[in-house]
A and B are shown apart, each in its own frame.
Chain A
Amino acid sequence: GENVEQHPSTLSVQEGDSAVIKCTYSDSASNYFPWYKQELGKRPQLIIDIRSNVGEKKDQRIAVTLNKTAKHFSLHITETQPEDSAVYFCAASSTQTGANNLFFGTGTRLTVIP
């Protein structure tokens, strides 16, 4: 099955700096890569996703890049703000298999220091 690895497990940045979280996956059939944000005590929520037919996607201060050859994808947050502090999960799935299940990374706890 799919194995998703995520690094780093914790990340602290000064407000206004950029943050980068990296994930690798093992199954070359995976073609959908979402990122979820979980604030303290709340449910995970989708913040951005990318499909394997594109290499980069941006939404305001967040962007995701995908390197299919190397099987890795990254989340980039620019001009970080205290409200960006949360746990971020990457995930991967393949729409070519019946279940289409998402396989999650182990999470990155981002702390933005004011």
Chain B
Amino acid sequence: DGGITQSPKYLFRKEGQNVTLSCEQNLNHDAMYWYRQDPGQGLRLIYYSQIVNDFQKGDIAEGYSVSREKKESFPLTVTSAQKNPTAFYLCASRLAGAGTGELFFGEGSRLTVL
């Protein structure tokens, strides 16, 4: 069953702790993306990667980090430097260079900072 899988679905973190959200896809897509979703603010791009071992900052990259060591995986680390990390995080992927291609989303990870 092809798709994009995010884990964990729910995560609680204490202030000052880093946390890593997992994103795995078996669609053979080159491009992967992380979005943050807050009520009334739509989907904002955190980081994206067009190819393995390369990634770029999106609109709200401060306080986040990513890696792209494998084509299938694009984990996102929410660091303690992120001032307001409580949010719903969505990972997505699509074919590289497919500017008009469908973006496939994972089911999301909801992070709550206590």
Contacts and interface: CB of A to CB of B under 8 A. Distances in A.
Interface of A: 1, 6, 9, 32, 34, 36, 42-46, 49, 51, 89, 93-95, 99-102, 104-107
Nearest to B6: A43
A107 B103 contact: no
Interface string B37-50: 00011111100101
Contacts of B2: none
Nearest to B38: A106
B102 interface: yes
Contact of B43 (A44, A95, A100): A44
Contacts, number: 53
Given A93-B99, A105-B42, A42 B107 contact: yes
Interface in B1-59: 31, 33, 35, 40-45, 48, 50, 56, 58-59
Contact of A34 (B40, B50, B102): B102
A107 B42 CA distance: 5
Contacts of B33: 101
Contacts of A101: 33, 45, 48, 58
Contacts of B41: 106
B114 interface: no
A42 B40 CA distance: 17
Interface in B91-114: 97-100, 102-103, 105-108
Contacts of B106: 43
